[in-house]
Structure 1
Amino acid sequence: MPKFAANLSMMFNEVDFLDRFDAAAMAGFKGVEFLFPYDWDAVELRAKLEAAGLSQALFNLYPGDFSKGDRGFGAMPGKEAEFDAALDQALGYADTLGNELLHVMSGIVPAGVSREACTETLIANLKRAAPKAAARGKTLIIEPINTRDIPGYFLNTQDQGRAIIEAVGADNVGLQFDFYHVQIVEGDLAKNFEKHLDIIRHVQIAGVPERHEPNVGEINYPYLFDLMDRLGYDGWVGCEYRPKAGTVEGLSWMKGY
């Protein structure tokens, strides 16, 4: 049976962020994830997790100025110092919050910079970061994202992600497999999941095309949930979707799981 983690950046927006932990627990979740924790004190967030009886699944490294379109430093030539600082910050938060997984955002390909240069930068950054993360018991993951939601994003396909992970060659560097993005870019969800299962460390779900609940749209998630069980995937399944109406009102899809 899949382990669902509520994404508190997208779900339970009916209440303030710090109240979403209790709201998620009351709705039946055992884990949570969110985009970024850096506007809050790590100790305060840890207290919210413990009070609600929740586990932290993951969060993202600081991406730069999100409001101005920054989407990470991982594959950005010339931003190595910013990447290193973001990694150190994220490791500190993860030590306090207790999560193993950290998502390294690749970023948007800069004008005039080749994709080859971005590939080399991401590999070099991950090679440098992996031992530091391993020493703290952490795993770094990269996520292919569709360019409809984030135009110009560097990492887009599972094969591209695999090639980078294999080039890094570290046990604690893996793939974040988001069925929403995979459907938009590649499709063939079941076969893609099975093909890359050996490097998948985290899964996310949402309906396609509107990114609502997983029972809204074109993806047959009950089949995919059964597939995860059959293949032995036992990691978190992050619910990174925007509720169509109210968060709790839209959770009927989760009954039975």
Structure 2
Amino acid sequence: MPRFAANLSMMFNEWAFLDRFKAAADAGFAAVEFLFPYDHPAEQVGLALAGGHLQQALFNLPPGDFAKGERGIASLAGREEEFRAGVEIALAYAHETGVKRLHMMAGLADPDDATAQATYRASLAHAADALAPHGIELLLEPINGKDMPGYFLNDFDRAAAFVRESGRPNVRLQFDMYHCELIHGDVAGRLKALFPLVGHVQIASAQGRHEPDDQGPDYPRLFALLDELGYDGFVGCEYRPRAGTLEGLGWFAPYRRHDPRPDPLDMA
């Protein structure tokens, strides 16, 4: 049975960010992910995570100026020092949260531009090598052009090629089924083909990026396929609730955590 991580950047927005951890735990999630933690001190994020007895499934390396439209800087020539500094910042948050997977956003650049390709490869190599001693995987995620026009990494086969050519065992593919459906279709077939490279999975409906219900792709079938393939990681719920977060969790009822949470003193 898949294990699910609530994405706190999209879900539980009815609460302030640091309060979303407890809300997710109370709703039955065993893990969380989010886009970026960097507006909050690393220690506070770690305490919120521990307070909910949650695991941190994933977050992103610093993306540049997200508020001004930047979507990562890994492929942007001239931003190399900023990128490397961002890796160190992310490692400080990784230390506080225990996260073992970090996503590297590629940025807005022409995928066929030779300079962007070379910059991206160099960023990948630096980040992967910096994360490896800490037992952390670097994830590459293709993102569809409708949601993020001009994104450098917009194709699953291209992303898989970067993973393979890196030659680094801690470089893996972030397989967002929503993006796969919009870019290629045939999510099940592509998941089977690329599964040996997959380090993390995310979900949302194809229509509106909402709850994973009857708006496609066929999530009951895909969840069963994950079990069949032996996927043992978390499935990130990176979707926007149609209404309230709690009101939209009917799909999650069979998967919610019911086990008693350990006493924090027992975990020390």
1:238 matched to which residue of 2?
236
Match of 1:203 in 2: 201
Residue correspondence of structure 1 range 1-257 to structure 2 within 5 A: 1-109=1-109, 114-257=112-255
Task: Note if contact 1:119-1:164 (Cα within 8 Å) is conserved in structure 2.
Answer: no
Equivalent-residue separation in structure 2 for 1:65 and 1:88 (angstroms): 17
Q: Which moved more, 1:43-52 or 1:2-11?
A: 43-52
Partner of 2:259: none
TM-superposed CA distance for 1:83, in Å, is 1.0
Normalised TM-score (structure 2): 0.93
Q: Who is 2:265 aligned against?
A: none
141-150 or 208-217: bigger deviation: 208-217
Distance 2:72 2:214 in 1: 30
Q: Which amino acid aligns with 1:125?
A: S
Uncovered stretches (5+) of structure 2, i.e. residues with no partner: 256-268
Question: How far is 1:116 from its partner?
Answer: 2.8
Deviation at 1:115, TM superposition (A): 2.7
SS at structure 2 position matched to 1:177: strand
Q: What's the Cα RMSD here?
A: 1.2
Tell me the distance in 1 between the aligned counterparts of 2:95 and 2:247. 34
- Aligned residue for 2:56, secondary structure, equals strand
Q: Is the partner of 2:216 in helix, strand or coil?
A: coil
Q: Distance in 2 between matches of 1:18 and 1:71?
A: 23
Do the aligned partners of 1:56 and 1:99 also contact (CA within 8 Å) in 2?
yes
Could you tell me which amino acid in structure 2 is paired with residue 51 of structure 1? G
Q: What is the aligned length? A: 255
Task: Calculate percent identity across the aligned residue pairs.
Answer: 51
Alpha-carbon distance, 1:114 to partner: 4.8
* Aligned mates of 1:218, 1:10 — CA distance in 2: 19
TM-score (norm 1): 0.96
Question: SS at 1:238's partner residue?
Answer: strand
Larger deviation: 26-35 or 88-97? 88-97
Q: Is the 8 A contact 1:134 1:172 kept in 2?
A: yes
Q: In structure 1, how many angstroms separate the alpha carbons of the residues matched to 2:116 and 2:178?
A: 24
- Paired residues of 1:115 and 1:154 also in contact (CA < 8 A): no
Aligned mates of 1:45, 1:123 — CA distance in 2: 31
